Amino acid sequence: MEIFEAIDNRKTIRKYDDYKPTTEEVKRIINSARLAPSAINMQNWKFIAIYNKKVKEELANSVLAAYDRILSNLNEEDKAPVERYKGHSTFFKNAPFIIVCVEKFAPSFMSGVLEKAGIKDEEIKLMRPDSYLLSMGGAIENMLLSAYALGLGSCWMVAPVLGEDGMRKTLNLKEDEKIVSILAFGRPASDVSDKRSPKKELDEIMEIIE
């Protein structure tokens, strides 16, 4: 498939049919994360593919418990937006497979040096965007595009990360590992609509300095 065909036509899919993608397809997708660029080529990541229904359900239950804990401490007015997030946070349990994206913590060499140079924390944050998280974003987009090329739909999800604490126990993560996204994959259900999310015009987001 031509790369622009995937970029132009990929869209988020949240409903899937019963097709179970093969482990070869899963490996092909994760291999495209492996090959992604990363800050100083650190490759500080790990990808856990899960078909198992019980494990997916256990993860989803951790997410629901985390949302419920937060909701129980909010007044009625603040509850509504959180309920909306909650509603978009656990459908991954119905996806034929998911990939849990795990970032491995490593201290940033440059941030350490800037600290030694007496630069304040807030300034360091502006000078040093989170390179490891940015690298993960690139790896994730590679996976979404590869899935599209294999005829699979996908959804990149951050809302479930609210239940990180419980999910990390299910997945036996080490102390220096942190879940940053869950990706849901599957062949798009036959009744998925053709509608695309509206995108801003190029002029709105672009500037060219000649």
Ligand X SMILES: Cc1cc2nc3c(=O)[nH]c(=O)nc-3n(C[C@H](O)[C@H](O)[C@H](O)COP(=O)(O)O)c2cc1C
| C-beta closer to ligand X: residue 29 or 157 | 157
Long-range contacts of the stretch 27-31 (C-beta < 8 A, 24+): 28/146, 28/150, 29/99, 29/143, 29/146, 29/147, 29/150, 29/152, 29/185, 30/99, 30/143, 31/146
Q: Categorise residue 2: left if φ over 0, alpha if ψ from -120 to 50, beta otherwise.
A: beta
| C-beta closer to ligand X: residue 29 or 155 | 155
Report the residue from 49, 55, 150, 158 that binds ligand X according to the rule CB under 6 A: 158
Q: How far apart are the first and last CA of the chain?
A: 33
Report the residue from 6, 11, 70, 171 that binds ligand X according to the rule CB under 6 A: 11
Count of residues touching ligand X (by CB under 6 A): 11
β-sheet with 177-186: strand ranges across: 45-50, 97-104, 177-186, 153-157
| C-beta closer to ligand X: residue 202 or 208 | 202
- The reply on whether position 159 binds ligand X by CB under 6 A is yes
| C-beta closer to ligand X: residue 8 or 76 | 8
Residue type, 71: L
Report the residue from 197, 202, 206, 207 that binds ligand X according to the rule CB under 6 A: 197
Tell me, residue by residue from 13 to 52, as one string, x for binding to ligand X by CB under 6 A and - for no binding.
Answer: -x--------------------------------------
Q: How far is the CB of 159 from ligand X (least distance, A)?
A: 3
Stretch that binds ligand X, among 26-34, 98-106, 119-127, 151-159 (CB under 6 A): 151-159
Q: Residue 91 in 3-state DSSP?
A: helix
Q: How far is the CB of 209 from ligand X (least distance, A)?
A: 27
Q: Tell me 19's DSSP state.
A: -
Which has the closest alpha carbon to 65: 93, 40, 89?
A: 89
Q: How far is the CB of 114 from ligand X (least distance, A)?
A: 27
Contact between residue 185 and residue 96 where contact means Cβ atoms under 8 Å apart: yes
Residues 66-125 that bind ligand X (CB under 6 A): 88-89
Q: How far is the CB of 13 from ligand X (least distance, A)?
A: 8
143, with CB counted inside 10 A (0-12, 13-18, 19+), is buried
Residue type, 82: V
Q: Which residues would be at the binding site for ligand X (CB under 6 A)? A: 11-12, 14, 88-89, 155-159, 197
